[in-house]
Amino acid sequence: MMIRWAGCRYVVARLLVCTALFAPIALPGAVWADPVRLLVLGDSLAAGYGLPAKDGFTVQLEQALAAAGQDVIVQNGGVSGDTTAGGWARLEWALADGADAVIVELGANDMLRGIDPGSARSYLSAILATLDERGIPTLVAGMRAPQNLGPTYVAAFESMYPDLAREHHAMLYPFFLEGVAGEPWLNQEDGMHPNSAGVRHIVEAILPSVLELLAQVDPES
């Protein structure tokens, strides 16, 4: 009897091992019926200026999200040279394919052209108000201005991101180029646009915020 009991325990143990091997693996994050559509509404930094398509921000972000167990399609809504006014003008078109969440990365070209921060603020506010009204979770990617533009301009420009994120119930990522700006080895020859390694650095840094953004998406949407 003892031998038969030992054999029975062995069979049960083998069954448990096999069951564990073929059980589905739980991945982090919400469970969605369909892939989540994440729109990146931005300028050349989002578009992947000067890079092969595979090295652009949206592609690298989608790959990083997949590695984190997230079923997400990252839509490239970046247009090189775009300002906040341009982003506002094409917002409806960018949303036409549907978006469950949005990253807004705009303002750098307003600053580079010396456009009045009040104008940039009004267009960015309009974009965020529209997304807020539609209940689309949004992450605002901020930008910094060089000090040679003067303290008044710098203060007005940089403050619009936290101010508007708070006003329109959006998340804030303070500086899109954090850790990349001013680092020659992470930028292309123009010193303004990240190279492949620079984009990888941006993706690694912003990923926790993007995961937090995606956690706000309604699985039933």
pLDDT at position 13, please?
36
Catalytic residue among 82, 100, 193, 201: 193
Catalytic residue among 43, 44, 82, 110: 44
Question: Who contacts 151 (Cβ-Cβ below 8 Å, separation ≥6)?
Answer: none
Question: Is 43 tagged catalytic?
Answer: no
The per-residue pLDDT for range 113-143, each reduced to its tens digit, is 999 999 999 999 999 999 999 999 999 999 9
pLDDT at position 57, please?
98
Taking alpha carbons only, the member of 112, 119, 213, 206 closest to residue 160 is: 119
Question: Is 44 tagged catalytic?
Answer: yes
CATH architecture of 31-214: 3-Layer(aba) Sandwich (3.40)
Question: Is 193 tagged catalytic?
Answer: yes
The per-residue pLDDT for range 152-208, each reduced to its tens digit, is 999 999 999 999 999 999 999 999 999 999 999 999 999 999 999 999 999 999 999
Tokens of 164: 């508007």
Please check the confidence at residue 27 and state whether its pLDDT lies above 90: no
